[in-house]
Chain A
Amino acid sequence: MRRMTTPRDVPVLELREARPALESEGLLSSAYDLRLMPGECALIRSRDTVRAGLFADLCTGMVGLRDGSVRCQGLDWATMDERERWALRGRIGRVSQVGSWVDLFGTHFNILTPVLHHTRIPTEQLIAEATELAVRFGLPGLPVQAPGRLSPLDLRRAALVRAFLGEPALLILEDPVEVDMTDLLTPFLGMLTQARDQGAAVLWITRSAALWGGYRDAATSRYRLIDEGLFPMRGA
């Protein structure tokens, strides 16, 4: 998941007339179009968290298509073999709302699993980087307790550490912060800007447009995700 290699002229994420094949599960088979170049950020408002999760799955090649294509770093999910798809997903940092944490392992292992799995960077170095990020997001260090024993706020911090760890090429963030998480907002926006400067593309999905705060002007585009599909917001 390390060192973004997406050339500047290749979209990090590109949905072209992508029609999902699983209408019954909450994402209508509308045609979705989206294009994110390195360093760009799209803000998406979706009041339905299930739909938001499925849209994120669509972007990561986990939803079959009836028509169209979804490309990540120029590679079409549909034409890649299984091992290539696993590897490419390893370049995506994601904050999701469902099933993100496994209580069988400590939070530190939950955070480190993707980078331990996809890279050969020495473990000590990864731990040091994760600890630095954890401190930056307001944790006292890398949490080792089971995720179930952390407070919701600390769990959100840990989720951000996991998403930003390893310099991902694409960040898909589903409700990464809430309005009452003022302590978290500043380091989050700082990391977001830094990641974009380094070439990462960002998809920030929220339930309410108010959560974007002042960042709406820094974003490249804004959309509404509704039953009928993905639509640009007025003034975006």
Chain B
Amino acid sequence: MSALAAYPLTALRWIGAGARRQLRFTLMLVGAGWGVVRDGVRPNSWRRTVRMEYRNALRDAAGGGFLSTLVVAALVGFGIVAQTVYWLSVLGMQATTDSLLATVLVREIAPVLVGVILLGRNGMLALTEIGLLTLGGQMRAFEAEGVDPFLFFVVPRALATTVASFTLGILFSVVSLSVGYIVCWVEAIVTQPIWAFLYDVVGALRPIDYAGVPLKFLLTGFFVSLSSTLTGMDVTRDDDMARLMPRGFVRGMMVLMVINVALTVAMS
């Protein structure tokens, strides 16, 4: 009787273990995300060391990514905005220009590209730094000193990257639209002033976009950073940087795409 009764429990245990193994990183991401929010709102968490790390992370993410964002935004403005405006005017569909730019550029492309910049510039750097500290035993030394590595490394970096992502996202949108406008204006494709052009694009955004677009920027930065730092902390003795870097990149890209697709679906 006892063996018979144990069978369904054993089967459930196997199914549960398998499911947990597959979902392990996702569950870690959710748990750590909640941990960052919880620690972030607790005044006692913001000790001098955490504030210093936050300042450094913000400077690296927002300051360091500033130029990259400008260049990518200018290229996108030149390549996508100008081409969109040009071809829509050739086809006589100028009326759809504003909504198309708002939908494609501001809502879809900007969060993904800013996320990729942050992943490449800061996420991979954080992954390398934290991965090496974990492999070298320094994380354990931090624990021995009573310094929680999660509070010291993960919380400030995730929050700083969130702020940087929003900042760079807005910058990206403004610069790409402006460069696109300038190209079209030089080619005499558009004649209206830049303020009117930007006003029309902003006007084409739906009310839900005013919450959804900033949310995309914020969540992209938050989870890209979290995914990188957690991958760095989640190393085993068998891991080395050659295995860790591709793993961190793939996880970061997956997180980036899932967030953007999920929010797009939720906003549509």
* Residues in chain A within 8 A of chain B (CB atoms): 56-57, 60, 62, 82, 85-92, 94, 96, 98-102, 104, 113-114, 116-118, 123
Contacts and interface: CB of A to CB of B under 8 A. Distances in A.
Contact of B146 (A56, A86, A99): A86
Given A98-B137, A99-B136, A99-B137, A117 B144 contact: no
Contact of A116 (B47, B137, B138, B141): B47
Given A113-B49, A116-B48, A123-B48, A99 B145 contact: no
Contacts of A91: 146
Contacts of B137: 98-99
Contacts of A117: 47-50, 145-147, 152
Interface string B93-135: 0000000000000000000000000000000000001000100
Nearest to A89: B146
Contact of A118 (B138, B141, B144, B146): B146
Interface of B: 47-50, 52, 129, 133, 136-141, 143-148, 152
Contacts of B136: 99
Contacts of B147: 86, 90, 113-114, 117
B128 to A, nearest CB: 10
B138 A102 contact: yes
Given A99-B136, A123-B48, A114 B141 contact: no
A88 B146 contact: yes
A90 B145 contact: yes
Nearest to B47: A117
Contact of B138 (A90, A99, A123): A99
Contact of A60 (B50, B138, B144, B152): B144
